[in-house]
Structure 1
Amino acid sequence: MPIVAATSVLLAALPLAAQQTAPAAPLSVIDWLGTQAAATPRSQPRSLIIDEVPVAKTGSVPEVSVVPLGDGAPREIGLVPSGITGLPPGLWAGSDVNRLKTLIEALPDLRLPAAQSLLFTVLLAEAQAPKGGSAAGDALALLRVEKLLKEGALDPALSLIEQANVTTSSAHFDLWMQISLLTGTEDRACNMLSRSAHLTADYGIRIFCAARDQKWDNASLTFGSAQALGLMSPEKLDLADRFLHPDAFEEAAALSAPRKMDPLSFRLFEAIGEPQPTRNLPRAFAVADLRDLAGWKAQLEAAERLTRAGALPDNRLLGLYTDRSPAASGGIWDRVAALQRFETALSTGSAEAVAKTLPAVWSAMGSAGLEVTFSSLFYEKLATFDLHGSAGEIAKKVMLLSPNYESAAAPDGGFADLIAKGEVPDRRPDAPLSGAIYDAFSEAGPRADLIANVAQNRLGESILVLLGLLQQGANGDAAALRDALATLRALGLEDTARRAALQVLVLEA
């Protein structure tokens, strides 16, 4: 069967939502989750009137249906329903969990926001377990949460591990505790541990939770046992010792930071008055700097880092940018000042003021790799101004990088405008990446092996491969970019393909 015909047959199984572009949709499920949390209504008080089941009218025994345990519908784990993601619940169902582990762990640091958005979508989508039943489902849940943690998306990671059941295994509980320590929500985890000590074999966690619960004798006894039996590394013992006995170390020199920081050590350093900077730590630690106890500069740097990775809603960054007036100049303060001046210009309604401030703020946001974030925040307001010259060119880029890219495409525009509409010009561009995009939106066929996965309930597996190809493309590999975009389109992920192509054209090419 020709590849085009085979593709159309396989795509019939995909939800219609996945086969349509949605230019006005949020750029990321991270933003969608933020809106859902804000829109969740307060629960209404229950009525005092008891809605009792009516009394039976006869004494006959009703017919009872019996279904063997384990034969029900497979459990779905995920935070975002199929109606939002456009992905089928069985996207992992035909995959081997070890193969998924290899693919997830091999994923590079994604630079294209379109790729980041697709990654979070596939990690957070409601989905059935892969081959192997509940054990494989539990293993995949851990992999998904671990990847979210690595990316710095701690709030979704916390919700997902709780949905997967934190008491499933010690690995589930320990991962829950790590995330809780970084988000400052460890109370619940410690309370659960106080009732069920078997949930973790980590003596450091046991000591920490006992001390937080004011059970100092228990904490000291656990520390002594760990020390005597060699159950903790010398570095962690030293840190726990200072945490439990601060008076004994008042004149001691500061401890050296461990080569590999973990959430518990991070919190213990903070507790003994030696907080560690997060700039050179894994991205997940940056979330700790979003707390009010961190300085504004630290909050700004953390928010930029997380937003750049797609792990923080854009409006959260905007809120920090506009929280107060910059305290100095240079670096991040120049970005804050430029954005605040631009917002002021927008509020005046003056096209001249906007044109004057737009180049500076665009350059400032570009220096931080936040052009797409800026575009998603301001495209609607910018669209109301008639700008020309350099400001007009920047406004055009903003619109092409925005969720409204298709509507903003000029009827007689250039290559990027045509791609925004899913079209190509008559002549193939000479530049390698532009040529690859042209091919993907014209005659290039998709990767047959990745298309075939759809019929085997392995769509998620294909998406993970495509994410790697997208990053290779962003790094300059034209063939990888062509294959990724052509296959995304064939799989019905047209919106992702167009966004990725536009981001390469506007930001990378």
Structure 2
Amino acid sequence: MRALLVSLALAIAAPGLAQEAPPPPDPTGRPLSAIDWLSESVRAPDPLAIGQGRGRVTTGIDEAPVATDATAPQVTVMPLGAASPDPIGLLPSSVTGLPRTLWAGSDETVVATLIAAELIETLPAMRDLMRMLLLAEADPPRTAGPDGTLFLARIDKLLDLGALDPAWEMLDASDPDSPPLFRRYLDVALLTGRETRACRLMDERPELAPTLSARIFCLAHIGDWPAAALTLNTARVLGDVSPAEEALLARFLDPELFQGLPPLTVPERPTPLGFRLREGIGESLSTVGLPRAFAHADLRPITGWKARLEAAERLARVGAIDDTVLLDLYTLRQPAASGSVWDRAEAIQAFDDALQTGRAEDVAAALGPAWDAMKAARTETAFARLFAAELAALPLEGRAEGLAYRIGLLSDSYEEIALDHTPANAEEAMLAQIALGQPPEPAPQSQPALAIHTALAGAPPPERLAGMVAEDRLGEAILRAIALFDSGVAGDPGALTEALAFFRAVGLEDTARRAALQLIILERAP
């Protein structure tokens, strides 16, 4: 009965649906943002140059920063009940150590722009700090409106990172009652298998549907196939769906009607909805080249092992999944081939087997290849968190001992590792001093190490950033300091010193030490 009703509704729409036209090019001609698939483009300017001059913010309000007379200032008001989602977070101040006034004195638009501009492919310490800011519970800027501009910017950055689970939790806590919130809610649901919950909410509140295509999909998903088909046919007649959307939805609603026809044209920018619809008609898309968030779809057991491994590496590289997910996939079964990800899986399996024996000589033999594999995947810190404690407990010698020491310094227990280890050379002694928050002595010769030495020796934080902290703009100052650090890693030693000095001055000592250790040990630019 369902097939008959759907076919009748779609019969008039069948001609001309064999191919899906590619989307039009971006009319602005600008490079596409990593989250253009999700929402309106978020531009990514230089976070150090926002405003008039490096480090200075232009708020867009033509007023002096301090009062010059007794005139009452203009007050921003909002209606009662228009609650902003901006304060929502997953980490309370007791966990982050950051005050709830993190953003209070900042301009919401400036902060949102800074968040969008932050790098993803940066050192893990900077990425972890940015993620903490994104997840922190904090009061919104004092001038913020009820539309949740800052909240949406935080969500979009989490999606850019591929951190879908925390994004879902925050969106769920926001009671997504507006199209911008619900659109993100639905997109995350589609990529993580939670679409039933999202579609039921849309069925209860149809006005939340971000597009007619989403409405049609959800009608079908909750079992109302005839209504979905009739909605599609009405939308076609009214011109409310593009030919590409019409072709894809028609096949999804009644694939038998299109048997024998060629596959649809692969779009340049598939949306999460398009991705799931294609999966439903047996024309699944590869996630390679798609935004990182799509890689979650490849983690499912229905996906081939190689694709699951590659997706896990891609997400683990930016801390978007738990480290154990990567390890479990590496050790799932014996590699059936060689090269790239297969070689990495084999190396990790050999290392894991060596650890199970408890014999130091076996571990020493397997450690080097396993570490080289993790360097190739750029998942060194995940490896360190997983195995540093076990390595520290073994009586390793020679090269293996030195490598285990450096791996340990990339773990969360870096300070204990430094205290328990007797340095074998000047480089190990320098790393130990950095791990303990002490300036390396004698002063190093290389530029990055010397910049770190200067910061740990007591260099003052930049005045412009310190001034922001005094104005309840700590979160904004931290975002700018992250950008400073990335500039330092790229070759500006002065910026590196300023960033590290600022982190120490505002109580982010752990971040400063971890970032310095990663910079020296990993030896790579963001």
TM-score, normalized by length of structure 2?
A: 0.80
- Match in the other structure for 2:206: 197
| 1:261 pairs with one of 251, 270, 279 | 270
Give, as a single letter, the amino acid of the residue that structure 2 aligns with 1:240: L
Say whether the 8 Å CA contact 2:430–2:441 is kept in structure 1: no
CA–CA separation in structure 1 for the residues paired with 2:92 and 2:210: 35
Name 2:49's counterpart in structure 1: none
Which consecutive aligned stretches of 4+ in structure 1 deviate over 3 angstroms post-superposition?
A: 72-76, 410-413
- Corresponding residue number in structure 2 for 1:149: 159
| 1:331 equivalent in alignment to 2:340 | yes
1:271 aligns to 2:280 (yes or no): yes
Correspondence list, 1:76-155, <5 A: 76-133=87-144, 135=146, 138-155=148-165
Contact 2:86/2:149, CA 8 A, preserved across alignment: no
Residue-pair matches, total: 440
Does the Cα contact within 8 Å between 2:109 and 2:150 map onto a contact in 1? no
Partner of 1:183: 192
Question: How far, CA to CA, are the matches of 2:171 and 2:375 in structure 1?
Answer: 35
Which residue of the partner structure matches residue 215 of structure 2?
206
Residue type at the aligned position of 1:153: A
Q: Deviations over 1:243-290 (max 9, x none)?
A: 123122211111122111210011011111011111110000001111
Q: Is the 8 A contact 2:108 2:144 kept in 1?
A: no
Separation in 1 of the partners of 2:379 and 2:489?
A: 16
Q: How do 1:232-271 and structure 2 match up within 5 A?
A: 232-271=241-280
Q: Among all aligned residue pairs of Structure 1 and Structure 2, give the percentage whose two residues are the same amino acid.
A: 46
Residue of structure 1 in register with 2:522 after alignment: 507
1:323-365 per-position Cα deviation (integer Å, ceiling 9, x unaligned): 2222222211111111111111112111111111111111111
Q: Is contact 2:213–2:245 with CA below 8 Å preserved after alignment?
A: yes
Matches within 5 A, 1:262-301: 262-301=271-310
Q: How does 1:455-494 map to 2 (within 5 A)?
A: 455-494=470-509
* d(CA) in 2 for partners of 1:349, 1:394: 18
Residue of 443, 457, 472 corresponding to 1:428: 443
SS across alignment from 1:327: coil
Does the aligned pair in 2 maintain the 1:112–1:503 contact within 8 Å?
yes
User: Residues 170, 97 of structure 1: CA spacing in aligned structure 2 closer, same or farther, 3 A cutoff?
Assistant: same
> How far did 1:478 drift?
2.1
CA distance in 1 between partners of 2:270 and 2:488 (Å): 32
Question: Given that residues 85 and 151 in structure 2 are in contact (C-alpha distance below 8 angstroms), is that contact kept between their aligned partners in structure 1?
Answer: no
- TM-score using structure 1 length: 0.83
Partner of 1:372: 381
Cα shift at 1:75:
8.1
**Match for residue 468 of structure 2?**
453
* Structure 2 equivalent of residue 28 of structure 1: none
Q: Take 2:218 and 2:296, find their aligned partners in 1: how far apart are those partners?
A: 21
Deviation at 1:468, TM superposition (A): 1.8
Q: What is the distance in 2 between the residues matched to 1:463 and 1:425?
A: 25
**Alignment partner, residue 180 of structure 2:** 171
- Report the Cα offset of residue 197 of structure 1: 0.8
Contact 2:504 2:512 in 1 (8 A): yes
Deviations 1:21-78 (A, max 9, x none): xxxxxxxxxxxxxxxxxxxxxxxxxxxxxxxxxxxxxxxxxxxxxxx978x9998311
What are the Cα deviations for residues 426-466 of structure 1, in whole angstroms up to 9, with x where unaligned?
33222111111111111432121212222222111112112
Distance in structure 1 (CA, Å) of the matches to 2:138 and 2:150: 10
In 2: Cα distance, 1:196 partner to 1:439 partner: 58
Contact 2:335 2:342 in 1 (8 A): yes
Q: Is 2:429 aligned against 1:414?
A: yes
Root-mean-square deviation (Å): 2.1
Give CA-to-partner distance per residue, 1:472-497, whole Å, 9 cap, x none.
23333322222211111111101001
CA contact (8 A) 2:219 2:228 kept: yes
> What does residue 43 of structure 1 align with?
none
| Contact 1:304–1:368, Cα closer than 8 Å, also in 2 | yes
Q: Partners in 2 of 1:347 and 1:444 — Cα distance? A: 46
Partner amino acid for 1:115?
M
Q: Partner of 2:400: helix, strand, or coil?
A: helix
1:474·1:508 contact (CA, 8 Å) conserved in 2? no
Gapped runs of 5+ residues in structure 1? 1-67
Once the two structures are TM-superposed, the CA of residue 119 in structure 1 deviates from its matched residue by 1.2
Question: 1:404 maps to which residue?
Answer: 413
Do 1:74 and 1:128's aligned partners in 2 also have CA atoms closer than 8 Å?
Answer: no
Aligned to 1:135, the other structure's residue is in SS state coil
Q: Secondary structure at the match of 2:459?
A: coil
**Mapping 1:335-346, distance limit 5 Å:** 335-346=344-355
Amino acid at match of 2:387: F
| Contact 1:112–1:474 (CA under 8 A) maintained in structure 2 | no
Contact 1:141 1:161 in 2 (8 A): no
CA contact (8 A) 1:77 1:126 kept: yes
Shift of 1:133: 4.7
Higher normalized contact order (CA 8 Å, seq sep 6+, divided by chain length): 1
How many angstroms apart in 2 are the aligned matches of 1:493 and 1:402? 17
* Cα contact 2:84–2:145 (8 A) shared by 1: no
Which residue does 1:14 correspond to in 2?
A: none
Contact 2:96–2:136 (CA under 8 A) maintained in structure 1 = yes
Q: What amino acid maps onto 2:349 in structure 1?
A: Q
Q: Which amino acid aligns with 1:223?
A: L
Aligned mates of 1:74, 1:449 — CA distance in 2: 30
